[in-house]
């Protein structure tokens, strides 16, 4: 028996239409660094997105599934591109502006981008790449910035505002198959070439619904979310589409991502929610500690991208701001878990749940695979590699060597599950606790040492700003931990003191023998600790390593 329900495709176009009509009064506010931010209603943003679609089709000839790239900060124009490009049947391709130039060139050429929309302030980043981008035919510039570096560009250069001016605010939106491509993001390429993940209209729609669920971010049109996580980082964790779906107001920081302007915009604009990686909140904490600001409007912060140090959670608890741990990756759109504790617990009882990665929502199936390939139980103690599957989780990567989608054996199981590369345990209630990345776990004398656990313990020390722990070769044990620490200004803690502090929370056999003080922990393009840089520095003898 078939159902009697209507079969209506789940598309980004539906989100665009709904947001600009039902939630037309909600706002996208873009910080300008000046006295007054730029403010546009959802109705205005939707209308401008429609004008952009008309311009892309009629003047630039974009049709079918051609790729339109964005090299932009988080701002209103970028939201317009998010809505217009997929809705007209093309593919939004967000470019990570923090990647090395050679990786950006590789990604643009691999995706065969025809058009790029770029913020004027990012022209110095784009211009040197242009001679190496043969597929690029059009450059659309939005916002302030010197255009002169584009004078010799082979591609045609257009002004964003001039391009969309006087265009119709209606568009003959195509009836799209919900399984067609809507957006394209590439992994950061920490090992090998970056890999493309293609999101469908269906996956974005379903992911947006889950983001809005109470077991995820659970925001409403009474809320304002400060979207610090870059729009090139897994579609800003799904927030631009999710907010347009439910009328949540957006506060976009543009290029003002430093702690001082973030503190100022929180104090002045009063967002109730924010989303970013831990390093952002560590920087903001240092800023408001040195120069107190009122951030009391922020009741909830979604924090992900890497493990959040418990000490950071405790510090924000004291400020009345609740950090909510989340886990995900480019391949999972990215929502995989969020750490809302079960109901009816005291704050002390909630703590073990809060410092976990959180619980799997409906739509994300998970399993743990042991070193021998065996399926492990959800008992909270059996550690294995996490594998997941679901309607917003990748089943392949875009465009292998032969032009077809490809499934590397180390990333996808034979029966179609995504191998995350994360090692952890799952409690009976479905709460995930990650102990490490498979590539970062320290294999010492036949036992595993979690680098993340050591890092979190070290960052609880009052004189430690950051800490990263990596495995280094050891003749006796195979591998041992090397602890690299960033001390706070004026700190005097020595290695012996730090090791003694660690001994209070981790087994003695896990304590590092090798230590180094560094100026800053190297970061990837999306703010994660870049441990391969530390391992390389150690191998090259570039670190001043002492033993304790």
- pLDDT, tens digit, for every residue of 170-190? 999 999 999 999 999 998 755
With cut-offs at 50, 70 and 90, classify the pLDDT of residue 307.
confident
What is the tens place of the pLDDT at every residue in 354-386? 999 999 999 999 999 987 899 999 999 999 999
What is the tens place of the pLDDT at every residue in 538-547? 999 999 999 8
> Mean pLDDT across the stretch 53-73?
96
Task: Answer yes or no: are the C-beta atoms of 531 and 543 closer than 8 Å.
Answer: no
CATH at 101: 3.40.50.12780
Given CA atoms 115, 118, 120, 121 in this order, what sign does their dihedral have?
negative
Q: Which of 77, 80, 287, 331 is catalytic?
A: 331
Q: What's the pLDDT score for residue 400? A: 65
Query: What's the number of CA atoms in the CB half-sphere (13 Å) around residue 462?
Result: 2
Q: Which of 187, 225, 337, 435 is catalytic?
A: 187
pTM tops 0.75: yes
- Provide the number of structural domains found in the chain: 2
Active site residue 448: yes
Nearest to 352 by CA among 384, 321, 382, 313: 313
Task: Answer yes or no: are the C-beta atoms of 408 and 419 closer than 8 Å.
Answer: no
**CA atoms of 459 and 314, how far apart (whole Å):** 12
> Mean pLDDT across the stretch 66-72?
98
Terminal alpha carbon distance of the chain: 71
CA 432-230-67 angle, to 5 degrees, is: 105
What is the tens place of the pLDDT at every residue in 482-523? 999 999 999 999 999 999 999 999 888 899 999 999 999 998
Question: Is position 530 within any domain?
Answer: yes
State yes or no: pLDDT of 404 exceeds 80: no
> In what side-by-side order are the strands of the sheet with 196-200?
156-159, 138-142, 115-119, 67-71, 91-94, 181-186, 196-200
Q: Which of 106, 173, 351, 448 is catalytic?
A: 448
| Bond before 334 cis per omega within 30 degrees | yes
For 214, residues 6+ apart whose C-beta sits below 8 A from its C-beta are none
DSSP 52: H
Q: Which of 179, 202, 225 is the C-terminal boundary of a domain?
A: 202
With cut-offs at 50, 70 and 90, classify the pLDDT of residue 128.
very high
* Selected residue with higher pLDDT from 453 and 149: 149
Read off φ and ψ for residue 482, nearest 5 degrees.
Answer: -110, 125
With cut-offs at 50, 70 and 90, classify the pLDDT of residue 402.
low
CA distances from 188 to 107, 442, 532 (A): 10, 23, 13
Q: What's the pLDDT score for residue 193? A: 80
Task: Answer yes or no: are the C-beta atoms of 295 and 280 closer than 8 Å.
Answer: no
Nearest to 116 by CA among 132, 133, 103: 133
Which residues form the domain of 152?
9-202
State yes or no: pLDDT of 401 exceeds 80: no
Q: Which of 172, 202, 232 is the C-terminal boundary of a domain?
A: 202
State yes or no: pLDDT of 440 exceeds 90: no
Q: Which of 202, 234, 251 is the C-terminal boundary of a domain?
A: 202
Among all chains, which residue has been given the structure tokens 């002390």? 348
Q: 169: how many CB neighbours lie within 10 A of its CB?
A: 15
Query: What's the number of CA atoms in the CB half-sphere (13 Å) around residue 285?
Result: 21
Percentage of the chain lying above the pLDDT 70 cut: 98
Name 22's bridge partners: none
State yes or no: pLDDT of 70 exceeds 80: yes
Question: Is position 49 within any domain?
Answer: yes
How far, in whole angstroms, is CA 12 from its chain's centroid?
A: 20
> Mean pLDDT across the stretch 259-275?
98
Name 491's bridge partners: none
Q: What's the pLDDT score for residue 428? A: 94
What mean pLDDT value characterizes the chain? 94
Measured N-to-C along each axis, helices 76-87 and 12-21 cross at an angle, to the nearest 10 degrees, of: 130
Given CA atoms 535, 536, 539, 540 in this order, what sign does their dihedral have?
negative
Query: What's the number of CA atoms in the CB half-sphere (13 Å) around residue 499?
Result: 18
Among all chains, which residue has been given the structure tokens 């045609």? 156
Question: Is position 118 within any domain?
Answer: yes
Nearest to 30 by CA among 119, 127, 91, 160: 119
State yes or no: pLDDT of 403 exceeds 70: no
Task: Answer yes or no: are the C-beta atoms of 185 and 234 closer than 8 Å.
Answer: yes
Tokens of 314: 């405790």
What is the tens place of the pLDDT at every residue in 186-224? 987 555 688 999 999 999 999 999 999 999 999 999 999
Output the DSSP codes for 127-165.
Answer: GGGGGG-TT--EEEEESSS--GGGTT-SSEEEEHHHHHT
Active site residue 443: yes
Q: Which of 349, 443, 500, 509 is catalytic?
A: 443
Q: What's the pLDDT score for residue 92? A: 98
Active site residue 331: yes
> Mean pLDDT across the stretch 239-264?
98
CATH at 537: 3.30.300.30
492 burial type by CB count under 10 A (0-12 exposed, 13-18 middle, 19+ buried): exposed
Question: Is position 105 within any domain?
Answer: yes
Query: What's the number of CA atoms in the CB half-sphere (13 Å) around residue 195?
Result: 18
Largest CA distance in the chain: 73
Question: Is position 94 within any domain?
Answer: yes
Question: Is position 30 within any domain?
Answer: yes
With cut-offs at 50, 70 and 90, classify the pLDDT of residue 436.
confident
Question: Is position 331 within any domain?
Answer: no
Output the DSSP codes for 163-232.
Answer: HHTT--S--------TTSEEEEEE---SSSS--EEEEEHHHHHHHHHHHTSTTTT---TT-EEEE-S-TT
Question: Is position 17 within any domain?
Answer: yes
What is the tens place of the pLDDT at every residue in 406-435? 888 889 999 999 999 999 999 999 999 998
Rounded to the nearest 10 degrees, how much is the dihedral formed by the CA atoms of 418, 421, 425, 431? -60
> Mean pLDDT across the stretch 220-245?
97
Q: What's the pLDDT score for residue 190? A: 54
């Amino acid at each position: 028996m078939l159902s009697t329900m209507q079969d209506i495709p789940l598309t980004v176009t539906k989100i665009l239409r709904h947001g600009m009509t039902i939630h037309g009064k909600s706002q996208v506010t873009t910080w300008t660094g000046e006295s007054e931010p730029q403010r546009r209603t959802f109705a205005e943003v939707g209308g401008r997105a429609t004008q952009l679609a008309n311009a892309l089709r009629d003047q630039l000839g974009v049709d079918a599934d051609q790729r339109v790239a964005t090299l932009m900060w988080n701002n209103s124009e970028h939201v317009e591109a998010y809505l217009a490009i997929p809705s007209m049947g093309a593919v939004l391709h967000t470019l990570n502006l923090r990647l090395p130039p050679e990786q950006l060139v590789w990604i643009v050429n691999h995706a065969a981008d025809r058009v790029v929309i770029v913020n004027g302030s990012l022209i110095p980043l784009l211009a040197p790449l242009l001679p190496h981008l043969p597929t690029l035919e059009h450059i659309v510039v939005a916002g302030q910035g010197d255009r002169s570096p584009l004078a010799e560009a082979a591609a045609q250069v257009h002004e964003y505002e001039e391009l969309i001016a006087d265009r119709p605010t209606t568009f003959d939106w195509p009836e799209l198959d919900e399984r067609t491509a809507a957006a394209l993001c590439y992994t950061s390429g920490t090992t090998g070439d970056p890999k493309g993940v293609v999101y469908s209209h269906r996956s974005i729609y379903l992911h947006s619904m889950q983001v809005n669920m109470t077991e995820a971010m659970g925001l409403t049109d009474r809320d304002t979310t400060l979207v610090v996580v870059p729009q090139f980082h897994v579609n800003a964790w799904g927030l631009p589409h999710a907010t347009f779906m439910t009328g949540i107001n957006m506060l976009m920081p543009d290029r003002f991502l430093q702690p001082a302007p973030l503190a100022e915009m929180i104090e002045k604009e009063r967002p109730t929610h924010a989303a970013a990686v831990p390093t952002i909140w560590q920087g903001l904490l240092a800023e408001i500690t040195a120069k107190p600001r009122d951030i009391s409007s922020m009741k909830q912060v979604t924090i992900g991208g890497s493990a959040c140090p418990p000490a950071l959670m405790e510090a924000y608890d004291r400020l009345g701001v609740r950090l909510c741990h989340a886990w995900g990756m480019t391949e999972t759109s990215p929502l995989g878990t969020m750490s809302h504790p079960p109901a009816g617990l005291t704050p002390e009882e909630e703590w073990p749940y809060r410092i976990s990665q959180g619980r799997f929502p409906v739509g994300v199936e998970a399993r743990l695979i042991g070193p021998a390939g065996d399926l492990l139980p959800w008992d909270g103690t059996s550690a294995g590699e996490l594998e997941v599957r679901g309607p917003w989780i990748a089943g392949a990567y875009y465009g292998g060597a032969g032009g077809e989608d490809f499934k590397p054996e180390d990333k996808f199981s034979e029966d179609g599950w995504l191998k995350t590369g994360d090692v952890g345990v799952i409690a009976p209630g479905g709460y995930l606790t990650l102990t490490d990345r498979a590539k970062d776990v320290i294999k010492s004398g036949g036992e595993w040492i979690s680098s993340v656990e050591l890092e979190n313990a070290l960052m609880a020390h009052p004189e430690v700003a950051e800490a990263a722990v990596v495995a280094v070769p050891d003749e006796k044990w195979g591998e041992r931990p090397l602890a690299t620490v960033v001390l706070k200004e004026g700190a005097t803690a020595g290695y012996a003191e730090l090791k003694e502090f660690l001994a209070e929370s981790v087994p003695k056999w896990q304590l590092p023998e090798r230590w180094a003080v560094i100026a800053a922990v190297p970061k990837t393009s999306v703010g994660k600790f870049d441990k391969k840089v530390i391992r390389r520095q150690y191998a090259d003898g570039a670190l001043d390593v002492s033993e304790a």
